[in-house]
Structure 1
Amino acid sequence: MNVFKKYKIKHIFFGAFSIFMTVVFLVITLVTYHISANEMVKTTTEYQQRSLQLLSADLNSRLKSIEDYSIVLARQQNFREVIRGNVEHSQQQSLTNDFSNIVYSVPALHSIEVYTWYPPLDNINYPVRYNILSMVREKEWFPNLDSVLYEWIGERKVDTIAGEQTVISYGRIINTTRGNLQAILILNLDPVILQGWLFQYSTSADLVLLDSEGIILSSTGSQEIGDDYYQDILELVRNNETNNYVEDEGDLIVASTLPTNDWVVMEITPYEDIIEGSRLMAVTLIIIGLIAFMFALIVNYLLTKRFTDPILQLVHAMKNYRLNDKKDTLPSDYKNEFGQLFKGYRDLITRSESLHNSLMEQSKRKREAEIKALQANINPHFLYNTLDQLNWSAIEHGYQDMSHMLELLGKMLRIGLSKGESIITLGDEIKYLHYYLQLQKIEKGEFFEYEIDVPEHLLIFYIPKLTFQPFVENSIIHGFRGRRKGKVQLKVRDEKEHLLIEINDNGVGFQSLTKNSSQDTGGYGITNVIERFNAYFGNHASINITNREEGGTAVLLRIPKVLDRENIEKYTD
Structure 2
Amino acid sequence: MKKMFKRYRIDYLLFGGLTSFVLILLTIVILLTYTLSTKELVRVTTYYQKENLNELYNKIEIQMRAIEQISLAATRNIVTTEYPDMTNDSYVNYQKREELETFLSNIAYSTPIIQSIELYTGNAFPSKSQSLVSFIDMNQAKDQSWYEAVENADFAWIGEHTITSNQGRIEVISFARKIYSNSGKYQGFMMLNLKASSIQSQISGEIPTSNRILLDSGGRVITYIGDPSLPTKIKSYLLDMNNESGYMKVGLPESNDSASSQKNTLMVWAMHYNSSCMLVQLTPLNQVTKGSVHISAVLSLVGVSAILIALLFTLYFSNLFITPLRQLLHEMGRYTANTNKVNLPEDYQNEFGVLFSGYRKLMDRIKSLYVSLENQYKEQKKAEIKALQAMINPHFLYNTLDQLNWMALTAGHDKLSQILELMGKMFRIGLSNGESLITIREEFTHALCYVQIQQLRWEEGLTVSIDLAEHLQDWYIPKMTLQPFIENAIMHGFNERLTGNITISAKEDQGDIIIQITDDGVGLKKNWNAQREGNTGGYGIRNVKERFEAFFGTRYRVDIENNPQASGTRVTVQFPVLKYKQEEMNVSLGASIP
TM-score of the aligned structures, taking structure 2 as reference length: 0.52
Between structure 1 and structure 2, the one with the greater Rg is 2
1:293-344 Cα deviation digits (max 9, x unpaired) = 1111211221111112122222223333455655453333333333344344
- Asked whether the equivalents of residues 75 and 179 of structure 2 are also in contact (C-alpha less than 8 Å), the reply is yes
What amino acid maps onto 1:252 in structure 2? Answer: L
What amino acid maps onto 1:111 in structure 2? Answer: S
Q: The residue matched to 2:35 in structure 1 has which SS?
A: helix
What residue is the counterpart of 2:38 in the other structure? Answer: 37
User: Does structure 1 residue 106 correspond to structure 2 residue 111?
Assistant: yes
CA 1:289–1:121: 2 relative to 1, 3 Å: closer
What amino acid maps onto 1:126 in structure 2? Answer: S
What amino acid maps onto 2:267 in structure 1? Answer: I
Picking from 274, 291, 312, the partner of 2:288 is: 274
What amino acid maps onto 1:301 in structure 2? Answer: L
Q: The residue matched to 1:52 in structure 2 has which SS?
A: helix
Picking from 176, 179, 190, the partner of 2:184 is: 179
Within 5 Å, give how 1:20-419 maps onto structure 2: 20-85=21-86, 87=92, 89=94, 92-120=97-125, 123-133=128-138, 135-136=140-141, 141-142=146-147, 144-211=149-216, 216-223=221-228, 230-239=231-240, 244-245=247-248, 246-249=250-253, 250-257=264-271, 259-260=273-274, 262-323=276-337, 325-327=339-341, 329-346=343-360
- Asked whether the equivalents of residues 213 and 221 of structure 2 are also in contact (C-alpha less than 8 Å), the reply is yes
Within 5 Å, give how 1:412-561 maps onto structure 2: none
What residue is the counterpart of 2:19 in the other structure? Answer: 18
Q: The residue matched to 1:148 in structure 2 has which SS?
A: coil
1:125-177 Cα deviation digits (max 9, x unpaired) = 42111124455555554554344322223344433113333321112222223
- Asked whether the equivalents of residues 54 and 270 of structure 2 are also in contact (C-alpha less than 8 Å), the reply is yes
CA 1:144–1:292: 2 relative to 1, 3 Å: closer
CA 1:98–1:280: 2 relative to 1, 3 Å: same
Question: Displacement, 1:196?
Answer: 0.9
C-alpha distance in 2 between matches for 1:332 and 1:76? 114
Question: Displacement, 1:185?
Answer: 1.9
C-alpha distance in 2 between matches for 1:315 and 1:44? 63
CA 1:163–1:8: 2 relative to 1, 3 Å: closer
What amino acid maps onto 2:7 in structure 1? Answer: K
Q: The residue matched to 2:212 in structure 1 has which SS?
A: strand
C-alpha distance in 2 between matches for 1:264 and 1:160? 29
What residue is the counterpart of 2:3 in the other structure? Answer: 2
1:81-135 Cα deviation digits (max 9, x unpaired) = 5444464645643543342232223221111112344445564342111124455
CA 1:236–1:121: 2 relative to 1, 3 Å: closer
What amino acid maps onto 1:186 in structure 2? Answer: M
C-alpha distance in 1 between matches for 2:109 and 2:182? 32
C-alpha distance in 2 between matches for 1:213 and 1:65? 20
- Asked whether the equivalents of residues 244 and 256 of structure 1 are also in contact (C-alpha less than 8 Å), the reply is no
C-alpha distance in 2 between matches for 1:119 and 1:8? 99
1:42-100 Cα deviation digits (max 9, x unpaired) = 44344434433333333222100001111232344444454444646456435433422
Unpaired segments ≥5 residues, structure 2: 254-263, 367-594
| Percent identical | 28
Question: Displacement, 1:288?
Answer: 1.0
Q: The residue matched to 1:313 in structure 2 has which SS?
A: helix
Q: The residue matched to 1:2 in structure 2 has which SS?
A: helix
- Asked whether the equivalents of residues 29 and 286 of structure 1 are also in contact (C-alpha less than 8 Å), the reply is yes
- Asked whether the equivalents of residues 150 and 171 of structure 1 are also in contact (C-alpha less than 8 Å), the reply is yes
C-alpha distance in 2 between matches for 1:147 and 1:340? 97
Q: The residue matched to 1:331 in structure 2 has which SS?
A: coil
What amino acid maps onto 1:269 in structure 2? Answer: T
CA 1:53–1:252: 2 relative to 1, 3 Å: same
CA 1:144–1:29: 2 relative to 1, 3 Å: closer
Question: Displacement, 1:7?
Answer: 2.9
- Asked whether the equivalents of residues 173 and 185 of structure 1 are also in contact (C-alpha less than 8 Å), the reply is yes
- Asked whether the equivalents of residues 59 and 258 of structure 1 are also in contact (C-alpha less than 8 Å), the reply is no
What amino acid maps onto 1:247 in structure 2? Answer: G
CA 1:19–1:295: 2 relative to 1, 3 Å: same
C-alpha distance in 1 between matches for 2:140 and 2:332? 112
- Asked whether the equivalents of residues 160 and 223 of structure 2 are also in contact (C-alpha less than 8 Å), the reply is no
1:436-459 Cα deviation digits (max 9, x unpaired) = xxxxxxxxxxxxxxxxxxxxxxxx
CA 1:257–1:26: 2 relative to 1, 3 Å: same
C-alpha distance in 1 between matches for 2:342 and 2:127? 126
Unpaired segments ≥5 residues, structure 1: 353-573
